[in-house]
Structure 1
């Protein structure tokens, strides 16, 4: 039984789709990237080419020097907080500087005119 649970957990962490499953990611040192999704956080080494493809795909918006949010997963942006979930749990929010907030709102509304 324990092996089945361990294998299922391992499969979740290996098979997530960045554009589909991830709310945001933060880039660390030496290619280590922290991916944050609905029910998990995954640290994974990513090549520069992979990282550039995530950013170039248009799915992610840079919100700080090392943090990118999935534009399709943003639920709201107000008072310096980007929320990804209706529960408004701290783990499902990213703080963004107020001076960057308007620029991010403009990018999000350009991608999805019905949002915001």
Structure 2
């Protein structure tokens, strides 16, 4: 019985910036958060959503989908890959135009090696 209670706490106490790969915005404040092994639908306030979007940590890839820029491993073949070594890992489709912009953004964020 304690195991079920602990699992429930994990899903309620996740940190968006640290644990989430991407999220999709639905109607009436319902947001679907996608982590490595789970998906969580949760209602959040407009202020919380605005905070995530304006923080700069999440990049808009479609009209309702935002990707955690720090979790992107690579962008290729029309998709954002989070773990390219695992064939079943999550990926998000992205248009060529957005793919170019995301690659540019990620290259600008990486520190230059000297």
- 1:48 aligned to which of 46, 49, 52: 46
Whether 2:18 is the aligned partner of 1:20: answer: yes
Aligned counterparts of 1:21 and 1:88: Cα–Cα separation in 2: 20
Question: In structure 2, the residue corresponding to 1:39 is in which secondary structure?
Answer: coil
Alpha-carbon distance change, 83 to 37 in structure 1, aligned in 2, over 3 angstroms: same
Q: How does 1:50-69 map to 2 (within 5 A)?
A: 50-69=48-67
**Higher relative helix content:** 1
- 2:70 aligned to which of 65, 69, 72: 72
- 1:93 aligned to which of 65, 71, 91: 91
Instruction: Tell me the residue number matched to 1:103.
Output: 101
Question: In structure 1, the residue corresponding to 2:70 is in which secondary structure?
Answer: helix
Any gaps of 5 or more consecutive residues in structure 1?
Answer: none
CA shift for structure 1 position 88: 3.5
Instruction: Tell me the residue number matched to 1:32.
Output: 30
The count of corresponding residues between Structure 1 and Structure 2 is: 111
Aligned counterparts of 1:76 and 1:69: Cα–Cα separation in 2: 12
Any gaps of 5 or more consecutive residues in structure 2?
Answer: none
Deviations 1:35-79 (A, max 9, x none): 000111000001110001111111100000000000000000011
Aligned counterparts of 1:101 and 1:108: Cα–Cα separation in 2: 11
CA shift for structure 1 position 100: 1.6
Aligned counterparts of 1:48 and 1:111: Cα–Cα separation in 2: 28
